[in-house]
Chains A and B, each alone.
Chain A
Amino acid sequence: MKKPTQKKPSARAVLARMFGATVEGISIEKSVLTGYAAVDGKKVCVIGTCDGTYIDNGAALRLAAHVIECIERAPKTPIVMLVDSAGQEPNRVAEMLGLASYFGHLLSCLELARRKGHKLITVATGQAVGGAFLCYGMFADRIYALDSASVGLMPIAAMSAVTKIPAPVLEKLSKTMPSLEFGAAPFALLGGVEEVWSASDDIQAKLAAAIAASSTEDNRAELGKKRGGRKLALDIRKKVLAESAR
């Protein structure tokens, strides 16, 4: 299901591109990243996943623990969240234990960080699909993606397999409906990603600028409308707000 292509840079290489020598402060344990690094000479907290790993109850707890530690020991330090995860592995025991609650807890920790003045920036570095993107990455103040990242609900082949709609039909529709297309660029058209960074970009400079420009105002619906990928969401939301105010 998640066959890594040969071109994919290693997790360490991706980290080095973002944090230079300060990458030393980030530990990788079972494909879960936690630690501290620096962007433009300023300290940042780092949490994330790599190697397209599955995120389970234990991984969610380790990420949450690091967020709590950052809130306590490094007040207001920006938190950079890296996402390269295939999602949650369908597992009965994980479900029995309440995986959804583990994810909800991670989100609560991030919300607390936001309220306490930590900026939250996500960079989708590899796979950013399904539940693993929802359980922390999509909760950031601002979300970015490398152009090599696989961002979206699921590839068209998988969508076709589940919905029983022939892949060519979905392919054709995706030309006019970016929501059906898989990838960082169409996801950005929907407003789900602020900006896509390419291989030639100076990622450290981009990240520093992203942290500086971050805002806690969720702008995704506005972006989606402006970019034409998600035309309805903002107006429907506004309609609800207007009708309910009467």
Chain B
Amino acid sequence: MTGAILFHELTARQRVAALVDAGSFSELLPPPERITSPYLAQLGIPVSFDDGLVIGHARIGGKKIYLAAQVGQFVGGAVGEIHGAKLTGLFKAAARDKLPCVLIIESGGVRLHEGSSGEIAIAETMRAIFECRALKVPTIAVIATDIGAFGGIGILSTCCDFRIMTEHGRLGISGPIVIEKWMGKKAYDSANRALVWKTSGGKTKYLLGDADALVHDTADAVRDGISKFLGKSSAVSLVSVKARQKELQKRLKKFGAASDPDTVWKSMGVRDIQAASLASGPEFAALAKRGK
């Protein structure tokens, strides 16, 4: 259907269409309802009829799911009051109906033009995600583009049960340009793409265990990845948080003084950095042992 077109090259609605069973997507609050941001309108900035978020329900492999896809082309997929409320509502609907909720992320975080409303919306959505998790309703984040998951949405993605990434996807809080401004070009050259991706990209996140799957940059591969997690959930228990505490402590101790991402790759079993850099996501995953 999408042939050789890469997942990260698709638009949000194309991504949805390429992921779900043919014709199964039903959009909630679709563009004809014309729900647009009053903040952007006041600032004279173009608005979007979906406020940069496509939400609805669909089926994947016959299983009913809720699904959201952020529109990166619209103010960087950033979360404003409406965008955020749609997201909160969707996770609450997932909890109510006990249906898995998949979020195709493409967002730099809070939409600055709307101030604190977007920040609160992200906090509310975090609560709704954990509502799902308490009910063992799977919550799955897909991070597949260079806009990636940053700021508050980067944090929010780590609240979901599972994160599926492609090698192209990036996950973090502060992006490279912000860090370069803060630390200087010598410490972090945001134009150094290899360094940028080794810092925040899918490969490193998978190695460290922050991404649960590293898949090819195609709709088919992303769908397969989602399918594997649809029946699963990751419980928040005393055992799980204690194990995670140990793991994150170990990671900080081991790599806290490392300045070169290659150190992380090497100690995680990647022998040939050059080959690993060029490898596709799944090839890379095979090259390195999992960083737990």
CA distance A165 to B248 in the complex (A): 40
27 contacts between A and B (CB under 8 A): A61-B245, A89-B182, A90-B181, A90-B182, A91-B179, A91-B183, A92-B259, A95-B173, A96-B255, A98-B208, A100-B154, A101-B208, A108-B159, A134-B122, A139-B123, A153-B116, A153-B118, A162-B112, A165-B113, A169-B43, A233-B81, A233-B124, A236-B81, A237-B88, A240-B89, A241-B93, A244-B89
Are A240 and B90 neighbours in the complex by a CB distance under 8 Å? yes
Are B116 and A187 neighbours in the complex by a CB distance under 8 Å? yes
Minimum distance in angstroms from A161 CB to a CB of chain B: 10
Q: A99-B172, A218-B127 are in contact. Are A241 and B179 (CB under 8 A)?
A: no
List of 8 A-B pairs having minimum Cβ-Cβ separation, nearest first: A104-B158, A240-B89, A236-B85, A138-B123, A90-B174, A237-B89, A90-B182, A179-B115
B77 CB–A CB distance under 8 Å: no
A contact residues, range: 35 or more
Are B245 and A105 neighbours in the complex by a CB distance under 8 Å? yes
Closest to A93 in B: B259
A162 contact set on B, CB distance < 8 A: 112
**A interface, CB within 8 angstroms of B:** 57-58, 61, 64-65, 68, 71-72, 88-93, 95-105, 107-109, 111-112, 115, 130-131, 133-135, 138-139, 152-154, 159, 162-163, 165, 169, 173-174, 177, 179-182, 186-187, 190-192, 218, 220-221, 224, 230, 232-234, 236-241, 243-245
B173 contact set on A, CB distance < 8 A: 88, 95, 99-100, 103, 131
Are A105 and B244 neighbours in the complex by a CB distance under 8 Å? yes
CA distance A234 to B92 in the complex (A): 12
**B interface, CB within 8 angstroms of A:** 28-29, 35, 38-39, 42-43, 55, 57, 66, 81-82, 84-86, 88-90, 92-93, 96-97, 110, 112-124, 126-128, 130, 133-134, 149, 151-152, 154-155, 157-159, 171-174, 178-179, 181-183, 187-188, 198-200, 204-205, 208, 210, 236-238, 240-242, 244-245, 248-249, 251-252, 255-256, 258-259, 261, 264
Are A239 and B89 neighbours in the complex by a CB distance under 8 Å? yes
Q: A96-B255, A112-B237, A239-B29 are in contact. Are A177 and B116 (CB under 8 A)?
A: no
A131 contact set on B, CB distance < 8 A: 151-152, 155, 173
A134 contact set on B, CB distance < 8 A: 119, 122-123, 126, 152, 155
A101 contact set on B, CB distance < 8 A: 158, 208, 210, 248
Q: Chain B interface mostly helix, strand, loop or mixed?
A: helix
Q: A153-B115, A232-B85 are in contact. Are A97 and B208 (CB under 8 A)?
A: yes
Minimum distance in angstroms from B169 CB to a CB of chain A: 13
Q: A105-B241, A173-B43 are in contact. Are A57 and B155 (CB under 8 A)?
A: no
Q: A103-B155, A131-B173, A159-B112 are in contact. Are A230 and B117 (CB under 8 A)?
A: yes
Give the residue among B158, B236, B244, B259 with the most A Cβ atoms within 10 A. B158
Give the residue among A90, A96, A243 with the most B Cβ atoms within 10 A. A96
Are A100 and B264 neighbours in the complex by a CB distance under 8 Å? no
Minimum distance in angstroms from B262 CB to a CB of chain A: 11
Closest to A151 in B: B116
Are A220 and B261 neighbours in the complex by a CB distance under 8 Å? no
